[in-house]
């Protein structure tokens, strides 16, 4: 029997961590997220708003079912379904196709504010979320360079959300529904991936610093070493 290749072996019984692309749903997730938007715009152009609303919701449901059948991660599909459902409801209430994009526009503004606020209060979201998911504790907050790196990563994500809001809000005001759909797709996962590159830089920078600091710290004494040191210290009583 041959042994598996070294790259296939698991160390210490740990499961391999998913990549950033896998966490976003993989390549299929990037494609699936665009389908309801494209379906909505096309259906609205040919059949009107009502048909566009129902076909976009139907496409989101179909994607969720397809993922379930193929045993793919459901979280991106479920999140996408609720996002489409809310967008469709707003379009129905406003009676306008461009209302389909209103939720995403103002969600970007809210996210931008939250990310900036997290930096102001010295709990940058990029660092909080990453270290919480990986269970690495709060050592990164005690190291100023590490925290500053996560500040930069968090502000980079805030800038992305701000850009989404500014561009898509302008398109909304100008009634460019088709361009709104294009902007939503182009400024979605592709732009988000660029922000994640900054997050990865901050993570690697922080991990490298914390590892170096840990190596410089003296190893803690064992119980036996403590006992031996105390015995040596009090072995002889001082002379009167």
Q: Which residues of 61-85 are buried (b: 16+ CB within 10 A; e: fewer)?
A: eebbeebeeeebbeebbeebbebbb
pTM of the model: 0.73
Query: Rounded to an integer, what distance in angstroms lies between the CA atom of residue 47 and that of residue 39?
Result: 11
pLDDT at site 78 = 81
33-42, 160-169, 228-237: range with lowest mean pLDDT = 228-237
**Which pair of structure tokens corresponds to residue 53?**
């609303």
Report d(CA 141, CA 121) in Å as an integer.
Answer: 12
pLDDT: is 137 or 235 the higher one? 137
pLDDT of 72 reads 76
Angle between helices 125-134 and 144-173 (to 10 degrees): 120
pLDDT at 124 over 80: yes
Residue-wise pLDDT for 68-110, tens only, equals 888 777 777 788 888 899 999 999 999 989 999 999 999 999 9
Rg, the chain, Cα only: 26
Asked whether the predicted pLDDT for residue 30 surpasses 80, the reply is no
Angle between the N-to-C axes of helices 26-47 and 75-94, in degrees from 0 to 180, rounded to the nearest 10 = 20
**172-198 CB burial, b ≥16 within 10 A, e <16:** beeeebebbbebbeebbbebbeebbeb
Top-confidence residue, 175 or 135: 175
Which phi and psi (to 5°) does residue 14 adopt? -90, 145
Q: Mean pLDDT of all residues in the chain? A: 81
């Amino acid at each position: 029997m041959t042994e598996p290749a070294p790259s296939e072996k698991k160390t210490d019984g740990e499961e391999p961590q998913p990549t950033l692309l896998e966490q976003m749903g993989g390549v299929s997730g990037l494609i699936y997220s665009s389908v309801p938007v494209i379906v909505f715009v096309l259906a609205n152009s040919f059949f009107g708003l009502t048909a566009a609303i129902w076909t976009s919701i139907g496409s989101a449901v179909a994607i969720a079912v397809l993922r379930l059948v193929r045993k793919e991660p459901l979280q991106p599909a479920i999140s996408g379904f609720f996002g489409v459902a809310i967008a469709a409801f707003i379009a129905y209430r406003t009676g306008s196709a461009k209302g389909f994009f209103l939720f995403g526009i103002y969600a970007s503004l809210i996210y931008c504010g939250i990310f900036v606020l997290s930096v102001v209060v010295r709990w940058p979201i990029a660092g909080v979320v990453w270290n919480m998911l990986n269970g690495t504790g709060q050592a990164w907050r005690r190291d100023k360079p590490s925290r500053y790196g996560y500040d930069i990563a968090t502000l980079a994500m805030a800038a992305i959300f701000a850009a989404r809001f500014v561009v898509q809000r302008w398109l909304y005001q100008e009634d460019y529904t088709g361009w709104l759909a294009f902007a939503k797709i182009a400024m979605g996962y592709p732009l988000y991936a660029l922000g994640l590159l900054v997050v990865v830089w901050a993570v690697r920078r922080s991990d490298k610093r914390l590892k170096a600091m840990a190596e410089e710290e003296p190893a803690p004494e064992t119980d036996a070493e403590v006992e031996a040191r105390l015995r040596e210290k009090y072995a002889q009583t001082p002379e009167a």
